[in-house]
Structure 1
């Protein structure tokens, strides 16, 4: 598929060079387009391995001839071509605000050189130019995306899930190679009870970093929230395989295994704690959603650093856990008032 794309790019380059006229302005515009396509696809039209025997213009003419009869007997659907202003607005929306003025100056320069004189070439030239600009500002854009990610983390800690989601969306728009951005957005989706979206984002994170234990753990939590305990166990197990000393991952795996074995899906992870005398009523609390909050997870992680607590959870010794004042206070915080 990649070779075919390069062959198509070379065919377009050959067509553009054949279309060069004696008019200096038109020639310069075409040369700008040629250079952009070369840069974006990394091709050279002189490379014989990428040249095809039939010119692009001939292929196009044959296509039109073969489809003439069909087009005259069927209803014609007209596709509205976007104006230059609409295309520019879309391109501007995909550039960080900090670099937008610089990008606009870049666009003005190539426009002055006649790059947009041919209406049919505006979109491909603009896309190629945008890609070239992004590549030239790669490090700056990554730094901006990281800053936005941190802002998203802060919003999520403050309970502003909508704001956090917007930040992670923007961070991914600017740098979709970062696994952490997808994992964090997945955690936000889980907080919003959008578990399928959370699973999808965790998978995207794992594609970018197959050794990302936290992504597997978050995916396991989303599967557990959907009651898909076998899938949750598989995800948790992979998290443990990556980080065998992570007590949180091991506790999550153990809990999922017990739910799958005992069929306690309807308990929502509380094991009936809502009916224990002297305890707050926790039966209506969405524990899975609650644990998606980084602040709550940090509190739970601190408890898990206590070997006695970890052992109690591992053995299912709920009684010992309830004797711990810190656990009791935390549970009362989230009980119904």
Structure 2
């Protein structure tokens, strides 16, 4: 039973190390904490009982046991990548520079191709993966950006920009809890970076927000908007517009089909939809003219809830 307890203790120790390593989401951390409690209860051991500690940690024991087998597999399946020659390294750098130039002219697909070619030549350069992650993000391929940032961090765990770009990609996937942890790590490595500070604040705010049926409009607080007297006064003026009243009456009675189409002969068809769009445009212009402060307030609110790419999306030169 002592050996069983020692094994359980080693597993618990390993889980504690994973908890302290950082980079885990809050859900993953909570799962590990529950697993530790379950193991301690099931085997009657405590993580504080050092009498059960072994001379080697669980990963060291595992590595020792699989060392010979792994070396054989590595030769057959995944040979150790060779270090690029001086000429190859220069060519990879040239391709990276080409990719950076394509990023500057917003030709992101071409940038991905150049970075990918650089990676083929030198797959151990974290910058190439991080730059390709920036291009992927510009193309909306946030999953690809996350994967490349993960590879960059694996190569260089102290590469702050990789953590920052990982945070941006995760935030774009609405994984704000995970984004917070990566922004914090980026700030640990680069404490003076204002973009990381700004994006961390936004991600933390997103974590605290709860979905509301009155939310929407690009992240603006619709409930506050509807309680604004100026906005409601202008909305009332729009609803008193005879053209809008006629269109609304027709839609309520079913006179118009979907998307402004005619449900019955004699209906207004697409001309009525155009009229409604024009009325909406007039309403927007009226809002701008009568209450420019309200418009600016809405714009500022939307901007404040949008993560800043700042210098994060600029490709790295080295």
TM-score range, shorter chain: 0.3 to 0.5
Tell me which of the two structures has the higher relative contact order, counting C-alpha pairs closer than 8 angstroms and 6 or more residues apart: 2
TM normalised by structure 1 equals 0.44
TM-score by length of 2: 0.46
